[in-house]
Structure 1
Amino acid sequence: MANSEPRLGISGTIAKNFQTSAITPLLAILALLLGLFAVLITPKEEEPQIDVTFADVFIPYPGASPTQVANQVTLPAEKIISEIKGVDTLYSFSQPDGALIIAIFKVGIAREQAVVDLYNKIYSNLDKFNQAAGIGEPLIKPRGIDDVPIFGLTLWSDDPTMNPEQLTKVATVLETELKRIPGTREIYSQGRHELIANVRLDPSKLNSFGVTIEQIEQVLNSNNSVSTTGSLTQNNQEIKVQTGQFLDSVDDLKNLVIKVIPANNSITEPASAKVVYLADVADITLKSDIQKQQVWYANQQGQFPAVTIAIGKQAGENAVDIAGLITDKVAKLDNLLIPDNVNVAVSRNYGATAGEKASTLIFKLIFATAAVVILVLLTMGARESAIVGVAIIITLALTLFASWAWGFTLNRISLFALIFSIGILVDDAIVVVENIHRHMAMSNKPLTELIPQAVDEVGGPTILATFTVIAALLPMAFVSGLMGPYMSPIPINASMGMLISLLIAFVMTPWLSNKWLNAKAHRGNTSSDLNEQPHTETASTKLLSFFTFIMKPFLDGEHASKARKAMALGIVLLIALAVSLPFMQAVVLKMLPFDNKSEFQVIVDLPEGTPFEQNQKLLQELGLYLTTVEEVEHLQLYAGTHSPMNFNGLVRHYFLRESQEVADIQVNLVEKSERDRNSHDIAMSVREPLQAIGVAYNANIKIVEVPPGPPVWSPIVAEVYAPTTALREQAANDLMSRFQQTEHVVDVDIYLPAQQSKWQVSIDRNRTAIAGVAYSSIVNTIQAAIDGKDTSYLYQSNLHLPTPIRLQLDEAAKVDMHQVMLLKIPSASGAMVTLADVASIKQTSIDTTIIHKNMVPMIMVIADMAGPTGSPLYGMFDMVGQINHEQESGEAAYPMSQYFANQPDGLDEVAVLWDGEWKITYETFRDMGIAYAVGMIAIYLLVVAQFKSYTVPLIIMAPIPLTIIGVMPGHAILGAQFTAPSMIGMIALAGIIVRNSILLVDFIHQQATEGVPFEQAVINAAAVRAKPIMLTAFAAMIGALFIIDDPIFSGLAISLIFGIFISTILTLVVIPVLYYAVMKNRQGIHN
């Protein structure tokens, strides 16, 4: 019976059926074709697509104060929106004249569903808003990741004759041409100077001729219409009749009669009557209005007027392809629709960065694969390495296809997942090939008989080990918040790859081994009795001697027990030392490290009420400095408006920054290869010089970098809650002072606008009634005089849109409100009444905006963190400690509670809720910790099911804490921050290191079954399994080595490299010794 063929398990059976099957190579070819298909069809993007929907709800309430808006508009709207399932957070801003409510839906809620639910809820509750009282209809603007433009074109010219109006015309034509590109989404321009028929009224002339603004409006509207009034039949032909003609030129406006004044005020002498034309009371021009927005392009040669075109792409489209089509289209239109004196600068190209990143990572993937193959070549031979190489390629091909089928795009996260996975995807193939290699060295059986047995021997532990890695990784896919879907390609792609690699190891590897391996070349002994020899003979003499020397003191002798205790104590001390490194700040904790991008932003806020001219002057000074920075290629300066939004701007709502006191600078850097400093260092270096320039203007200047992962409202956010407005404002201002005084806390700001003056025009209702003046006439006249009013249009056939006719006072007249009040309006009797006769003015202040979060009033204080750590958590907890100290010592002016997760209600205390990067860090590490725990439980259950023991799994999982001995010191040695990717690496290590333990314990069981003495079996396990364990460890380390230079994923690489290195070395000794210590006295161990 000794020579009877042993019964094969599932892995051996699969290997036996496929090792000679004709379908096996066809399956391999199919896998390669599916992989090629996936590479060609999968959209390429720089970042993963996160399904998160923001919705801005604007509700106008003209004339209402913030308090009225908050009570009568905001709160009813918040109640309605909060009922929608899937709404995560509500922010509201109650301002003069209306409310803005921002609804943030939970991640994963489909945009279409979110928008439909929001529309249905609001419009089915319109009766809750008293529209009769003047509350307007809500305007809903949904926004998401697909609204972020992927491409930016800045049109500029150094030709003095090319003004912004002409650039706007070129931009308008380009928008139309670019929209013809399939796959593009919204296209818009920033810095447009739209043409208007500007009718600037002279108040003194209006009064002199007795003409009112309302009369001019009536004349314009009544003289600017066309009607098709029917048709006539003439000579048996129907002829259409069209009556009237549009105003279509400035001359038409100038020659428009607005009043006829009879001579001596008598209608009996029409010949001598005075005709008043519009040109008599106004200066009429066809050009852009005085701008409240301005864009410049700046480089080392100067600053030039510009217009920026932002182009988005549709969901699921390939960013690389769309960017390429845009580039080709612009090149084609150059000197055709783009004049030769207009330059086009690419101010954003996410397609190019996505393509560059994808190409770089694919090359790294190839090199990582090649490195692993070379490793196998050096340790086992050329044919074995070729088998492993083919297995990797097929595994990667099928993983790419599975990734596409799952819905992932080819982005830096999904590609990093594959590179990270290389080391663990190859494990199954290495273990199987190595065991076949070992069996060939100890047996002269035919390959068709030997291969299934070799595969079957390691099949059980390989299946178990694969599922333990999946059990460790897969729970990370369920991390909540923005970080979950952002990082989800790593656990999902790696898990799918592990399953695929397992199938390839059992299906493809046996077939390749049967075809390519020459059994005789590997046999050290051809004696037939080797078939029955125990596995100890497969361990090299050197390895066996080495492990005997190392492990004997812990297994045998009177001091063995003390040696084991000393080992345990040493390991505990090493773990404690490693854990203490973050507390000593030898390892800095941060959500994600800074990336090396090609851009950053400068956000400028001037005091409320600052003239636009001051804004432009400051912006040009800032731009002048930035162009002296060596690494800056060019800038776009945006005065009074925002730059095209990115993902960061989407979350922070920068796209709503539209006023005369705000500005934005888009700083574009030269290529990474052309500069020594990374973008973070450059951004930090310009902060102080820029802020020094801003001091003279009392401006708040913030440096905003593109975040390496999901963005937050600000790196440090403190939400201040209190029972009263006064106490809330006091606490917020006090907290802002603390921010400003805390070391390394920078870019401090507060969501509490400074007091701004306003003119209050009070209309005397009694006087208006007595004078016979309509109340609405006063309101409309003042509005048209100051803000201007688009009364009608010029219909010019050569333009894309009708040109507005805007009535307003000339700028000199608008400077003095008292002069505006000298305007006249007609009474019911026809007499002219001066505005000052029926209304009075006084100067007051504008009420501040009321902010709610989830219906609770609060004020936000925000900041960023500079300094050696760069981690906002350290600045935040520094201030937390300061507040706690003051509260405990009694130095605080008022009690203040601090919250870190749950929102306070603010009803009976001053409270601070810490948000920003802290929140996403807390949630991510909390969820990863839960995922880690779930993974441990899953691993334990899997090992219990395999070994039918409750104790053995604990031994197998014992080396998991050993990983931290490598991980934390590794970060400290390289000066790297411990980040979320570092944590992902630690979680992956749990599965990887357990795999090694399973191989060791399984081999000890095999040895014991064969009758080898227990002590010798323990030593043999380390000696025999050292080679495959070290091979798989080095393979994983090599895969990680190729991502260690990446700013974001270096932490993951460091965790894997140092964690695997230390824990693998320790595992080869600790696990066998621990297993011996626990199991040596157990009954039935040899059974």
Structure 2
Amino acid sequence: PIYVGDVAEILDTTKEKTSISTIGIGTTPPRNTVSVQIYKNTGGNILNIADTAQDTIDGLFASGALPGDIDIVKTNDNSVFIKDDITRLGTSGLQTMVLIILILFAVLGIRGALITGFSVPVAFLMAFMFIWWQGMTINSMVLFSLVLSLGLMVDNSIIVMEGINEYMHRYKKNAFDAALLSIWNYKWPIIAGTMTTVAAFLPMLLVSGIMGEYMGILPKTITATLLSSLFVALIIIPALSAKFYKDPAKKQTNKVHHSEKIRVYVEKVQVRYVAFLRNILPYKKKRRRAILVALALMVLTILLPITGIMKVNMFPAVDIDYFAVNIELPTGSTLEKTHAITQKAEAVVQHIPELDNYVSTVGSGFSAYAGESGGSGSHVASIVVNLVDAKERKRESYEITESVRAELEAIEGGTVRVEELTAGPPTGAPFEARIFGPEIDTLTEVAADVLAIAENIDGFINVEDTRQESSGEFTFTIDRERVTYYGLSVNTVANAIRQAVYGAEATNLTVNGEDIDVTVKYDEKNLADASDLENILLQSPTAGQVPIRQVATLTLEPSVYAIAHRDGEPILRITAGVEPGADLRAMTSEFNKQIAALELPTGYRIDVGGETEDIQKSFTEIFLSFIVAIFLIIVILVLQFDSFKKPFAIIFSLPLAIVGAFFGLTLLRLDFSLPAFIGIVSLTGIVVNDAIVLIDRINKNLAHKMDFIDGVIEAGIARTQPIFLTSITTIAGVLPLALSEALWAGLGFSIIFGLMFSTVLILVFIPIVFTSLMQKDYKNGKI
């Protein structure tokens, strides 16, 4: 008998290695590792998953299932970010509550502060019921929405409590009557104000895509809390006030209520305020001059982002505890060669002072952008660099990446790039140019020109194209006539070549319950180069053994590893990151200018996308939601005041808020980001509340036949303290949030500066605009 061992070498070995994974802790040499990743199912609780995984590992060690000399290191735990968010937002919420209670205590007294503060947990309880009913989970956006709504939800209660205090201390009404009078007087302004705020947030649900899903939580949560706070202000607050407030007549004390002391200081401000209004309101030229000043401020505000003084970005740079380094060699490079370049990058990473650990994977890459994979193959590798906790380092993560970027990218032998994660939902690359055309060779030539343009624009980093060229491919061109002459087929030739290169799986064996493949392949010594493939013998039914060179010609030709398509068209993409602080909008504009000078072949075009496209789409949709919000607000105001002119006096307050927001962001050197835009949209509802209360008081004064100018000025005097108090509590509610994290700074400070600016100007410009619009109608008896 002839055995297999007589004609072949039999080896019991492992499959060819396709990846190498190592871990380095601090400056210690890296060790081999096996990486295990655990993913959360939809609806799963990431905190429970992380805790259960750790308990399982501890249990395996305790039971002896895992040897004691094995180390298990948790290098990435996204539950930590959730815990940090909960802690940070929870702390901001507590700070907000303390600030609001202190402000209310100073103005309303201890009983008023406690009664008003009681509206928060009740409104939150009702909001949580809505969140549970909607199937929403407690995540960062829900927590942020709840903290943001803290300052908003007490506004209604403050107006009611201010009215109760006014009736009790100024008009000596008992608590029960004061509560009824306050509700009777303010119920419709409160309802209208709440509805306008809801109308400002609710259209955000119109935003589409992943950004819509990300933002949709905000209007849902805030709408729930605001409607809950409206119920509390109109039902619960009056009942508690009637129950726990003492009647003024029953108080046997000569002590002046401290709210009256505050009112004394307010009255000093009001004296100057009255003098200012009396110097402007009766005179048409002065009113027009004031309106022109406001319009000039609006024009200057619009110029801030247009001129580049205020930069525009999707999301601000944030501090994240890890970043990645991608290494790429020419396609076809061996695993060992890629590992050697990776070790050079590891040597740079080891010298980062803030380093905790790093995990290197040769055989797969890392992508920080949505919709893209880091790639795989023996020619790519990635290093995930984990930094120590932010509390233990002085530099932000993006400062650390900038400090090592040049040294890493200078490594020879491959392309090394530093990838950073961004805030907000997953998005594409910050910059992307898409080149479309029918022929891949021409596309490659155009892409080279576009790549050179992007590389020469200051601010772009990690500029690369998505063309995946291989190191070439050996092509057998089969002579069909000769194949037919020898009684062979194209498939016979192809199978012979495939089995020579990759081997053929003959069978599999079961050893100790484990299936082992049996592969038959040529001895690699007999395939030293490609020309040896031409000597492979084919079994011909007519001519015996025929070498492949008799029926096919071998050539080496250039090749592309993959050709991407979009909507059926071949496409090459040029992607780039952006340096921290760089103006993506200005850089894209410069890129477009240089691209316009290129002479593209017929049938080829270049589209610019990436974050620029995301910014344009998201800002456009939010702007449309802003228009819808204004329309809804106007409808509510028309129904509230039964007039078309009066709502325009209130709408005039919106640009005033934007003026304050833009100048505030510029002063703090904050970019006009998507969160900042959301903050400005939020202002549309918040600011209108103060204007509604003011106009409502003017209407009541004029209904009592007061002189027009006197009625307008008295309304300003009467509503000064409530307007300032609601604005201060809203600012106090947002301030801890704005200071807690860079992601929310733009949103928080746009609301803060918008309110600071508009609160003062509302008390000035609303009377001016209202007088200009309505004084003639009043004199003609139309109102």
TM over 0.5: yes
Report the secondary structure of 1:582's partner residue: helix
Distance 1:811-1:974 versus aligned 2 partners, 3 A rule: farther
1:792 aligns with 2:507: yes
Task: Please report how far the alpha carbon of residue 540 of structure 1 lies from its aligned counterpart in structure 2 after TM superposition.
Answer: 4.5
Aligned residue among 707, 711, 717 for 2:422? 707
Distance 1:819-1:726 versus aligned 2 partners, 3 A rule: closer
1:360 aligns with 2:99: no
Match for 1:332: what amino acid? G
Match of 1:136 in 2: none
Match of 2:287 in 1: 564
Distance 1:557-1:859 versus aligned 2 partners, 3 A rule: closer
Distance in 1 (alpha carbons) for counterparts of 2:99 and 2:276: 37
Match of 1:96 in 2: none
Match for 1:295: what amino acid? S
Task: Please report how far the alpha carbon of residue 808 of structure 1 lies from its aligned counterpart in structure 2 after TM superposition.
Answer: 3.1
Match of 2:686 in 1: 992
1:733 aligns with 2:448: yes
Match of 1:614 in 2: 337
Distance in 1 (alpha carbons) for counterparts of 2:229 and 2:488: 86
Distance 1:524-1:969 versus aligned 2 partners, 3 A rule: farther
Distance in 2 (alpha carbons) for counterparts of 1:557 and 1:302: 77
Task: Please report how far the alpha carbon of residue 485 of structure 1 lies from its aligned counterpart in structure 2 after TM superposition.
Answer: 0.9
1:653 aligns with 2:365: no
Give CA deviations for 1:911-963 in whole Å, capped at 9, x if unaligned.
Answer: 22111101111111101111111111111111111111111000011111001
Distance 1:811-1:355 versus aligned 2 partners, 3 A rule: farther
Distance in 1 (alpha carbons) for counterparts of 2:781 and 2:577: 61
Counterpart contact for 1:1033–1:1060, Cα < 8 Å: yes
Aligned residue among 440, 458, 465 for 1:750? 465
Match of 1:7 in 2: none
1:874 aligns with 2:586: yes
Match for 1:683: what amino acid? T
Match of 2:19 in 1: 293
Distance in 1 (alpha carbons) for counterparts of 2:13 and 2:439: 52
Match for 1:602: what amino acid? V
Distance in 2 (alpha carbons) for counterparts of 1:477 and 1:1005: 34
1:567-716 matches, within 5 Å, as 567-642=290-365, 648=368, 651-654=371-374, 657-693=375-411, 696-697=412-413, 699-716=414-431
Match for 2:574: what amino acid? V
Distance in 2 (alpha carbons) for counterparts of 1:351 and 1:687: 28
Report the secondary structure of 1:307's partner residue: coil
Task: Please report how far the alpha carbon of residue 821 of structure 1 lies from its aligned counterpart in structure 2 after TM superposition.
Answer: 4.1
Match for 2:29: what amino acid? G
1:854 aligns with 2:567: yes
Counterpart contact for 2:370–2:427, Cα < 8 Å: no
1:995-1034 matches, within 5 Å, as 995-1034=689-728
Match of 2:751 in 1: 1056
Match for 1:668: what amino acid? N
Give CA deviations for 1:500-555 in whole Å, capped at 9, x if unaligned.
Answer: 110011121112212221122898999xxxxxxxxxx9994654453343343443
Match for 1:375: what amino acid? I
Report the secondary structure of 2:620's partner residue: helix
Counterpart contact for 1:967–1:1055, Cα < 8 Å: yes
Distance 1:850-1:1050 versus aligned 2 partners, 3 A rule: same
Counterpart contact for 2:174–2:248, Cα < 8 Å: no
Match of 2:554 in 1: 841
Distance 1:523-1:703 versus aligned 2 partners, 3 A rule: farther
Task: Please report how far the alpha carbon of residue 570 of structure 1 lies from its aligned counterpart in structure 2 after TM superposition.
Answer: 2.5
In proportion to residue count, which structure has more strand?
A: 1
Q: Between the two proteins, what is the percent identity of the paired residues? A: 24
Match for 2:511: what amino acid? Q
Give CA deviations for 1:658-699 in whole Å, capped at 9, x if unaligned.
Answer: 222222221211111111122222222222111101xx21x3
Distance in 2 (alpha carbons) for counterparts of 1:366 and 1:691: 45
1:419 aligns with 2:147: yes
Match of 1:396 in 2: 124
Counterpart contact for 1:790–1:804, Cα < 8 Å: yes
1:367-446 matches, within 5 Å, as 367-446=95-174
Match of 2:595 in 1: 883
Task: Please report how far the alpha carbon of residue 829 of structure 1 lies from its aligned counterpart in structure 2 after TM superposition.
Answer: 8.4
Task: Please report how far the alpha carbon of residue 848 of structure 1 lies from its aligned counterpart in structure 2 after TM superposition.
Answer: 6.1
Match of 2:257 in 1: none
Distance in 2 (alpha carbons) for counterparts of 1:540 and 1:942: 32
In proportion to residue count, which structure has more helix?
A: 2
**Number of aligned residue pairs:** 774
Distance 1:1082-1:661 versus aligned 2 partners, 3 A rule: same
Distance in 1 (alpha carbons) for counterparts of 2:282 and 2:649: 22
Distance in 1 (alpha carbons) for counterparts of 2:657 and 2:274: 21
Can you give the 5+ residue segments of structure 2 that lack an aligned partner in the other structure? 255-259
Distance in 2 (alpha carbons) for counterparts of 1:976 and 1:400: 33
Report the secondary structure of 1:761's partner residue: strand
Counterpart contact for 2:483–2:551, Cα < 8 Å: yes
Match of 1:806 in 2: 519
Task: Please report how far the alpha carbon of residue 416 of structure 1 lies from its aligned counterpart in structure 2 after TM superposition.
Answer: 0.8
1:1077 aligns with 2:772: yes
Give CA deviations for 1:137-180 in whole Å, capped at 9, x if unaligned.
Answer: xxxxxxxxxxxxxxxxxxxxxxxxxxxxxxxxxxxxxxxxxxxx
Match for 1:987: what amino acid? V
Select between 576-585 and 925-934 the one with higher mean Cα deviation.
576-585
Distance 1:769-1:936 versus aligned 2 partners, 3 A rule: closer
Distance 1:443-1:496 versus aligned 2 partners, 3 A rule: same
Match for 1:607: what amino acid? P
Distance 1:857-1:953 versus aligned 2 partners, 3 A rule: same
1:306 aligns with 2:19: no
TM-score calculated relative to the size of structure 2: 0.93
Select between 556-565 and 349-358 the one with higher mean Cα deviation.
556-565
Distance in 2 (alpha carbons) for counterparts of 1:541 and 1:496: 38
Task: Please report how far the alpha carbon of residue 635 of structure 1 lies from its aligned counterpart in structure 2 after TM superposition.
Answer: 1.4
Match of 2:61 in 1: 334
Can you give the 5+ residue segments of structure 1 that lack an aligned partner in the other structure? 1-259, 261-274, 527-536, 887-891, 897-907
Counterpart contact for 2:173–2:248, Cα < 8 Å: no
1:159-198 matches, within 5 Å, as none
Distance 1:1066-1:292 versus aligned 2 partners, 3 A rule: same
Match of 2:198 in 1: 470
Counterpart contact for 2:447–2:574, Cα < 8 Å: yes
Distance in 1 (alpha carbons) for counterparts of 2:440 and 2:603: 12
Counterpart contact for 2:328–2:416, Cα < 8 Å: yes
Give CA deviations for 1:418-443 in whole Å, capped at 9, x if unaligned.
Answer: 11111111111111111111111133
Match for 1:292: what amino acid? T
Distance in 1 (alpha carbons) for counterparts of 2:249 and 2:73: 64
Distance 1:424-1:296 versus aligned 2 partners, 3 A rule: same
Select between 853-862 and 840-849 the one with higher mean Cα deviation.
840-849
Give CA deviations for 1:401-427 in whole Å, capped at 9, x if unaligned.
Answer: 212322322111111111111111111
For the pair shown, the structure with the greater C-alpha radius of gyration is 1
Task: Please report how far the alpha carbon of residue 558 of structure 1 lies from its aligned counterpart in structure 2 after TM superposition.
Answer: 10
Distance in 2 (alpha carbons) for counterparts of 1:980 and 1:1061: 21
1:968 aligns with 2:662: yes
Task: Please report how far the alpha carbon of residue 296 of structure 1 lies from its aligned counterpart in structure 2 after TM superposition.
Answer: 1.4
Give CA deviations for 1:885-933 in whole Å, capped at 9, x if unaligned.
Answer: x3xxxxx4x259xxxxxxxxxxx55422111101111111101111111
Distance in 1 (alpha carbons) for counterparts of 2:230 and 2:164: 16
1:250-289 matches, within 5 Å, as 260=1, 275-278=2-5, 281-287=8-14, 289=15
TM-score calculated relative to the size of structure 1: 0.68
Task: Please report how far the alpha carbon of residue 825 of structure 1 lies from its aligned counterpart in structure 2 after TM superposition.
Answer: 5.2
1:813-824 matches, within 5 Å, as 813-824=526-537
